[in-house]
Amino acid sequence: MEVVTLDVINKNLKGIRKEIVEMREHMVDVDSLLTKDDKMALQEARNELKENKAITLEEFERQLNL
């Protein structure tokens, strides 16, 4: 049976912490990814802006009598 000292455990924990920090630095925020539907909606919105079909939030609320 192998004897494990606190120093060995501490060294292993430091290595694990370092790996976790490196993984976090390379993780992608899933909320920042666009789905196919998101991309299509974004393109539609851009087209509406170019064609002056978009309205302001204030105008939208006015039309709804809010």
User: 5-46, pLDDT tens digit by residue?
Assistant: 999 999 999 999 999 999 999 999 888 899 999 999 999 999
> How many CB atoms lie under 10 A from the CB of residue 58?
9
Pure H helices in 1-66: 6-26, 36-50, 57-63
Res. 66: pLDDT tops 90? no
Domain count, the chain: 1
Residue 42 domain boundaries: 6-64
Say if CB 34 and CB 43 are below 8 A apart. Answer: no
Amino acid letter, 3: V
Residue 1 lies in a domain: no
User: Band of the pLDDT at 3, cuts 50, 70, 90?
Assistant: confident
pTM for the full model?
Answer: 0.48
What is the reported pLDDT for 50? 95
Residue 46 lies in a domain: yes
Res. 63: pLDDT tops 90? yes
Token readout for 7 is 């120093």
